[in-house]
Chain A
Amino acid sequence: MSSTPTATPPTPTSPVTLAVGDEMPVSEFGPLTRSHIVRYAGASGDFNPIHHDEEFARSAGMPGVFGMGLLHGGLLGQRLAAWVGLAAIRAYRIRFTGQVWPGDVLCFSGTVTGVREQDGEQLADLALEVTRQTGDPAIRATAVAKVAQCA
Chain B
Amino acid sequence: MTDDSLTGRDLGTMTFPVDRSKVREFARSLGDLDEVYTDVEAARAAGFTDIPVPPTFVVSSAHWREEDNMVATLGLDLRRALHGECGWEYYGPVVVGDELTASRRVSGVSTREGRRGGTMTMVSIETDFTNQRGELVVRQTDVLVETGG
Residues of A within 8 A of B (CB): 3, 5-11, 13-14, 29, 36, 39-40, 42-46, 60, 69-71, 73-75, 77-78, 80-82, 86-87, 89-96
Contact = CB atoms under 8 A, between A and B. Distances in A.
A80 B55 contact: yes
B110 to A, nearest CB: 15
Interface string B85-105: 111111001000000000000
B13 interface: no
B85 to A, nearest CB: 5
Nearest to A140: B85
B59 interface: yes
Query: Which secondary structure dominates chain B's binding surface?
Result: mixed
Interface residues of B, number: 38
B83 A69 contact: yes
B56 interface: yes
A126 B34 CA distance: 22
Contacts, number: 122
A78 B31 contact: yes
Contact of B83 (A80, A81, A90, A96): A96
B115 to A, nearest CB: 14
Nearest to B145: A96
Contacts of A13: 45-47
A10 B59 contact: no
Contact of A5 (B31, B46, B52, B63): B31
Given A44-B62, A91-B89, 11 more contacts: A8-B34, A14-B47, A39-B28, A39-B29, A42-B25, A43-B29, A78-B27, A80-B55, A89-B55, A93-B85, A96-B82
A54 to B, nearest CB: 18
B81 to A, nearest CB: 11
B32 interface: yes
A102 to B, nearest CB: 16
B22 to A, nearest CB: 8
Contacts of A5: 28, 31-33
A78 B60 contact: no
B86 A73 contact: yes
B96 to A, nearest CB: 14
Contacts of B33: 5-8
